[in-house]
Structure 1
Amino acid sequence: MLLDLQASHLGIMREILQRYVPHWEVWAFGSRVRGMARPSSDLDLCILSEEPLAFHLLSQLRDSFSSSTLPFRVDVVDWAITSDSFRKIIEENKIVVQKGQDKEMVGVDFETS
């Protein structure tokens, strides 16, 4: 599976994730993973937290994506408060975009369009 993002957009996403949630694994899912994205399609991210993320942290993360130069919306999901049925949907088509704990980024294949 490929993550349908330009290299510059991938860099912006990684920088924001490292700033706010460096200790958690993060998955991308949705149309940008399934190969069905349009240029304006949103980017769906899931933060793999065991406990619900603090409201202010999640708010800052979302605000940072909103005010970034990314030309599309980024939706952030907190795994800890996600229903079992939605978790199954996420797990079916996901790409790890950030490892947890060691703050390393995963080498992600992406579209070059």
Structure 2
Amino acid sequence: MADRLHLKPKHREVLEALLREHLPNVEIWAYGSRVSGRSHDGSDLDLVLRGPGLKEIPSDRLVDFEEAVRESSIPFVVEARDWARLPERFHREIERDHVVLEGQ
């Protein structure tokens, strides 16, 4: 299923390393244009972070991850959102079309 993710292998490797370092034990789903096939090279990457038990992820961990992404070689914006902080209507939309990037 991860083959549906429009992401160059070198950028995916960097992203996965940052996810493992900053957000261990968090399930990561990609969604949006890079999954639906409507993206271009400069499109942002939308991620939703699903913490253990679907509980909120501490804000400092999110900030650290976002800062690490900005300082990395990834040449596009990565938008990371905490599943526990999103409205239910977004859950349903994301569940319809996503790719599991890390985790289950």
Q: TM-score, normalization: structure 1?
A: 0.84
Rounded Cα–Cα distance in structure 2 between residues aligned with 1:30 and 1:23: 23
- Counterpart check, 1:94 vs 2:87: no
Give TM-score, length-normalised by structure 2: 0.91
Rounded to whole Å, the distance in 1 between the matches of 2:36 and 2:76 is: 17
1:47 maps to 2:10: no
Write out the 4+ residue segments of structure 1 that deviate beyond 3 Å after TM superposition.
none
Q: Does 1:84 align with 2:88?
A: yes
Determine if the alignment matches structure 1 residue 36 to structure 2 residue 49: no
Partner of 1:9: 11
The amino acid that maps onto 2:85 is: I
State the aligned residue count: 100
**Do residues 58 (structure 1) and 58 (structure 2) align?**
no
- Residue 99 (structure 1) shift: 0.9
Q: Structure 2: which 5+ runs fail to align?
A: none
CA–CA separation in structure 2 for the residues paired with 1:61 and 1:45: 12
AA in 1 matched with 2:56: P
Following superposition, the deviation at residue 88 of structure 1 comes to 1.1
5+ long unaligned stretches in structure 1: 101-113
Name whichever structure is richer in helix by fraction. Answer: 2
Q: How far, CA to CA, are the matches of 2:18 and 2:60 in structure 1? A: 15
